[in-house]
Chain A
Amino acid sequence: MGSDRLLVIGAGPAGLEAARLAASLGSQVLVVEKRDVAGGMPIHENYAALTHGFRDAGEAMAELIGAVTSHPNVELRTSTEVTAVEGSVGEFTVTLSSGTGDDTVEAGAIILATGFQHFDPGRETQQYGYYEFPDVITLADAEAMLKAHNFVRPSNGEVPERVAFIQCVGSRDRQIGNEFCSKVCCGISSKQAIEVRQQVPDARVFIFYIDMRMYGYWENEIYWPAQEQYRVNYVKGIVTEILSKNGRLLVRGEDTTMGRPMEVPMDIVVLAVGMEPSLGTRKMAEMLGVATNKYGYIETPHGELDTVATSVPGVFAVGAATGPADLDDSISSAGAAAAKAVALLRGAEVTV
C-alpha cells in the first residue's frame, strides 16, 4: 500500500462524520472543502432546526465540526478544491487547488461526501413563478427566515396570515427528469410548518401534497404533532399554478379528496424543492471515473448490503452524493464508509 491517508471530499455532515470516525479509529484523515467554512448545507443554507429532532442546526453542526477540527489525526482544508486525481486504490495522487496555489497529496482511499443541491424552482413545469413573486420561496429560504425568527412576507415585511407549502417541487416529475422522491421534503415541510405556527401563532398553515411520506418515527414526531397539536392543514392535491391577486398570492389546485377545484389566497408559499446532485458531486464523479445514474447521483452498484462502495475500488460515496438522503441516512452511511475505508487502508479485504 502506498498511502495510509484517507481523503474525504466535502465537509458537510456526512464528510465530517466520516472523518471523525476514521480519525477515532486511528487513521490520518484529510478533509477538503470547497467552501470557506465547514458544515455543509445546514450551515451554508442557514438551517434553523434539524429534521427530525428539532435540535438547533448551528449548535449541532458546531459540535460535529469541533470534534473533527480538534482531533489530532484530522487536517481540514477549506476553500480548497480537488482539481485532479491519478492512481488507484492504495495510491491515489490528488491535486488540491486553493487561493494559495496547487498542492499534491497522496491518499490510499477516498470518501466522496459532496452532497446535493436544492432543485431550482425556475425549472418547474407547473406555474409557480418563483422568480416572479417575492412571496414564493423555497424550503431553504424559509429555513433562513425561521432561523432569524423573522418569518415575514419578503414582498413587504408583513407577518403572514396564511402560509402554504407545496410538496414535490422538482421531485417525482417525469417532465423535469427527476423521477425520484427526495425523501426529506415531507418531513422538513412539516417541521417548518410547526416552526411557523410556533413563531407566528395566528398564521394558518396548509400543506398541499401528493403522498405524505413520513417514515418511522417521523410520523409520530412530526406529522401527528403538526396535525394534532399545531393544526396544520393537510390537503391532498398539488397546486397547479400561483398568480397574484389583490396583493396576495392566489393558489389554484384541486382538493382531490373533496373532488373540487380550489382557489385560495396565501401570503407566503413555500416550495418544497427536492434534491439534485451538487455540481461538486457531478464534477468529482467525472474526475474519478465513478459511475453515476441517469440523474447524476453516484452509483453504489453492489446492492443493498453495501451502500457506500462505488464502481471504483478505494472510492466510497456517502450521504446525498448517492441520492436523496436525510441526515440520519447521511450520518449512518458516513460511518459505514469510514469503517470500510479504514479497514481497506489497513490491508483488510473489504467485501463488496
Chain B
Amino acid sequence: MTSIIPVESLKTKPFRVDPSEAPTEDIREVLFELEEAGEIIVQRVPEPYVEVMTKYGRTKKIPLGQTWHHKSCGQCGHIPGYSTSIFWLTRKLGYDYIDPKDQTSCTAWNYYASATSNVAAQGGVAMRNFAAAYETGYFPLIHCGTSYGHYKEVRHEIVHHDDVRATVRDIMSKLGKPLVMPEEIVHYSEWVHAVRDQIAQHQVRDFSDIVACVHPACHYYKLIQEDAIYDPDIYGGQRTATVSGLILALGAEVADYSTFFDCCGFGFRHILVSRDFSRSFATMRKIEVMKEEANPDVVITHDTGCVTTLDKSQFAPQAHGRNVGVPVMSDAQFAALAMGAHPYRVCQLHWHSTDYRPLLEKMGIDWEAAWIEFEKDLKRLEANEIEYLTWEDVDG
C-alpha cells in the first residue's frame, strides 16, 4: 500500500452544481412568458410542496396533496398493486387526491411501439388530460415513466413550435377546453422521494437486512434529462437519486451492479410482439448481472414497463438454466410494505411472477397467513357478500 495519494484531497470534494451554469433553458420561465403573452395557462403547483434538486441544480416543486393521479396502462392492467400502493401511501400519509375517470392513457406506449400517431394527436391527448386535471383544481401526478417522459417531449413541442401549439390549441378549443400546462411535470416516484422521510417515520418493518438493486427507468432520467431528481449525497450527485433515496431512507442496502444504466429491454413493440428480445435483454443484461455481482433480495424500479419486463422475463429463461429469480416491484410497493401494507390486499403481489415469498419472509411478513386473509376476502367477493374490496376493508 502506498501511503501518499496526491489526488486524495480532490476525492473528498463533494459535487456541487450551480444552476446558473445549467446548459439548458429553464422551461418553466418560458411557460410563464407564454402565459404572460396569453398563449397558455400554467397550472401552479399547489401548496404544500417539497422542493427538490434536479440534474442541473435547479429546484423543482413536488406537490404533496391535491394531486390528480394520471394512471398507467400497464400498472392498472397487469400489475395493479403498483397503482394501489401509490394510492395507499397517499391515503396513509393523509393527503387528498383524485383518482379520475376523466383520464386517458398518454398513448405513448402505442406511439413508441407502432408510430401510428403524430405530434398533433399526442399533443392533443396530453393537453386534454392536463385540462381535465386543471378543471378539478388538482395537480397532475403521473404514474407512468413513459407518460412522464413523453409529456416532457410534448411540452417541448408545444412551447417551441408555434404551429404545433396552434394546431393543438385548435383541437382543444373544438373540445371546449383551454390550453393548460402544469408548472412542473411530476412523476409519482418524485413524490415518493419527496415524502421518503415521512414514509420512514411510519415504517413498521425492519428492512436493514434487505439488499436491493435499483433499476432507474430510461424515460424517467434519459428522455429530457433535466427534470429528474439528483442529490449530491446519493451516488455523488452523478446518478438520479429517485428510488435509491427511498431505499436508503428505509434502512435497506442499495447494491450497485455494472449494468445500472442499461434499459430493461421493454422496447414498447418488443414486449408485445418480439418478446425474445425483451426476455434476453432483461435476463442477460440486468437480472443475471445483478445476481452475479450483488445477489439482491429484490429489484426496485419506478416504471410500468420496467417492473413488467424484469419480472415476467424471468420465467422462460429457467428452462435454459439461467441464473434468474429475483423478485421485482415498484418503489411504491416497497414503501407500502415498509409501512405495514398487506402484501395482497394492497401490494397485490399475486399479480407478480417471480417468487417474492422469500423476500417477504426476510421482511418479517407471514405471507401464508396474509394469503389466507386475502382468500377470505376472495370468498366474500365470490359469495357476493361484498361487491368490491374497499379501502375500509384494507385498513380494517
Q: Which residues of A contact B (CB under 8 A)?
A: 46, 120, 122-123, 125, 127-132, 134, 137, 141, 144-145, 147-148, 150, 152, 154, 156-158, 175-177, 241, 243-246, 250
Contacts and interface: CB of A to CB of B under 8 A. Distances in A.
Nearest to B232: A131
B6 A134 contact: no
B118 interface: no
Given A122-B17, A132-B235, A152 B261 contact: no
B372 interface: no
A30 to B, nearest CB: 32
A152 B5 contact: yes
Contact of A244 (B3, B23, B258): B258
Interface residues of B, number: 30
B259 A243 contact: yes
Given A129-B238, A132-B235, A137-B7, A150 B2 contact: yes
Given A122-B236, A157-B2, A177-B23, 11 more contacts: A123-B17, A129-B238, A130-B15, A130-B238, A131-B14, A131-B236, A132-B236, A150-B6, A156-B1, A243-B259, A250-B258
Interface in B227-251: 235-239
B135 interface: no
Given A157-B1, A243-B258, A131 B238 contact: yes
B4 interface: yes
B7 A154 contact: yes
A287 B278 CA distance: 58
From A127, A131, A244, name the one whose CB has the most chain B CB atoms within 10 angstroms: A131
Nearest to A134: B11
A128 B13 CA distance: 16
Given A241-B261, A250-B258, A131 B2 contact: no
From B239, B258, B261, B293, name the one whose CB has the most chain A CB atoms within 10 angstroms: B258
Interface of B: 1-8, 10-11, 13-17, 21, 23, 225, 235-239, 256-261, 293
B6 A245 contact: no
Contact of B293 (A130, A141, A246): A246
A244 B256 contact: yes
A131 B10 CA distance: 9
A214 B71 CA distance: 55
Contacts of A131: 13-15, 236-238
A51 B3 CA distance: 29
Contacts of A137: 7, 10
Contacts of A132: 235-236, 238-239
Given A122-B15, A132-B236, A141 B7 contact: yes
Contact of B261 (A127, A134, A175): A127
From B1, B235, B236, B238, name the one whose CB has the most chain A CB atoms within 10 angstroms: B238
Given A131-B237, A132-B235, A243 B14 contact: no
Contacts of B237: 122, 131
Contact of A154 (B11, B257, B258): B11
A52 B293 CA distance: 43
From B6, B15, B17, B256, name the one whose CB has the most chain A CB atoms within 10 angstroms: B6
Nearest to B11: A134
Contacts of A127: 238-239, 261
Contacts of B8: 154
Contacts of B15: 120, 122, 130-131
Contacts of B17: 122-123
B116 to A, nearest CB: 31
A137 B7 CA distance: 8
Given A154-B11, A243-B258, A144 B235 contact: no
Contact of A145 (B6, B21, B225): B6
B293 A245 contact: yes
A250 to B, nearest CB: 5
Contacts of B7: 137, 141, 144-145, 154
Contact of B6 (A122, A123, A144, A250): A144
Contacts of A120: 15
A130 B23 CA distance: 19
Contacts of B293: 245-246
A85 to B, nearest CB: 24
B3 to A, nearest CB: 8
B280 to A, nearest CB: 15
21 contacts: A122-B15, A122-B236, A122-B237, A123-B21, A125-B225, A127-B239, A129-B236, A131-B13, A131-B237, A131-B238, A132-B235, A132-B238, A148-B4, A148-B6, A150-B4, A150-B6, A154-B8, A157-B2, A176-B23, A243-B260, A244-B258
A134 B6 CA distance: 12
Contacts of B4: 148, 150
Contacts of A46: 6
A130 B237 CA distance: 10
A129 B235 contact: yes
A141 B21 CA distance: 23
A175 B5 CA distance: 33
A137 B3 CA distance: 18
Contacts of A152: 2, 5
A177 B10 CA distance: 24
Contacts of A158: 1
A154 B9 CA distance: 11
A137 B238 CA distance: 14
Nearest to B21: A123
Contacts of A134: 11
Nearest to B236: A131
Contact of A141 (B10, B16, B257): B10
B6 to A, nearest CB: 4
Contacts of A129: 235-236, 238-239
A243 B5 contact: no
Contacts of B261: 127, 241, 243
Contacts of A244: 256, 258
Contacts of A144: 6-7
A208 B259 CA distance: 20
